[in-house]
């Protein structure tokens, strides 16, 4: 017989050891997934120029009648700048039309925008803010999901679609205490 018999060659592993190992592996995966800012590299795109961002946010506020997040605006501006070489000129043209009409909301000046690149950009900016993406294509750039204006208009009635119980990035439901039932 050989010195290497089968029962002595295999280490003994209990179910408890397998369960603890699996729990530790799962816990480390969940901890890593909950810290995306530490796990993922920073964006390769440079941050937009503050004056250009301020001008873009001014135009966005004229085109979209909602409170807009400048961080989302910076992401939209980065994509717009890469897609439109003449973005600065188009932005100035749209703001100029709004100023001539003394517009405070989109309805005051949108009909005066001539068809062409300027109107296409205005439509694209409105689309980007409402949908949170650059286009309807599968390769679209995502700017935001949670702050897309499509969901903000009904946030008090309908939760944002998500696998989280009470909305995006909210994985536990807040239990609201019930008031005591009346006694009859």
pTM score: 0.64
Which residues, listed in sequence order, are joined to residue 133 by a DSSP beta bridge?
A: 142
The mean predicted confidence, pLDDT, of the chain is 79
pLDDT at 83: 87
pLDDT at 39: 39
Look up residue 69 and give its two tokens: 């997040």
Distance CA 80, CA 133 (A): 11
10 Å CB burial of residue 125 (0-12, 13-18, 19+) is buried
Chain centroid to Cα 50, Å, comes to 21
């Amino acid at each position: 017989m050989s010195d290497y018999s089968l029962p002595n060659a295999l280490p003994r592993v209990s179910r408890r050891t397998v369960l603890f190992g699996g729990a530790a592996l799962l816990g480390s995966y969940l901890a890593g997934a909950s810290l995306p800012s530490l796990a993922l590299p920073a964006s390769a795109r440079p941050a937009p120029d503050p004056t250009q961002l301020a001008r873009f946010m001014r135009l966005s506020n004229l085109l979209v009648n909602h409170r807009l997040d400048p961080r989302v605006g910076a992401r939209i501006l980065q994509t717009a700048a890469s897609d439109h070489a003449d973005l600065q000129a188009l932005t100035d043209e749209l703001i100029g039309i709004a100023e001539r009409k003394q517009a405070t909301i989109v309805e005051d000046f949108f009909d005066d925008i001539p068809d062409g690149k300027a109107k296409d950009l205005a439509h694209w900016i409105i689309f980007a803010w409402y949908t949170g993406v650059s286009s309807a294509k599968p390769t679209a750039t995502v700017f935001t999901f949670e702050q897309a204006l499509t969901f903000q208009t009904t946030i008090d009635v309908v939760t944002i679609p998500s696998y989280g119980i009470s909305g995006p990035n909210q994985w536990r439901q807040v239990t609201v205490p019930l008031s005591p039932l009346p006694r009859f």
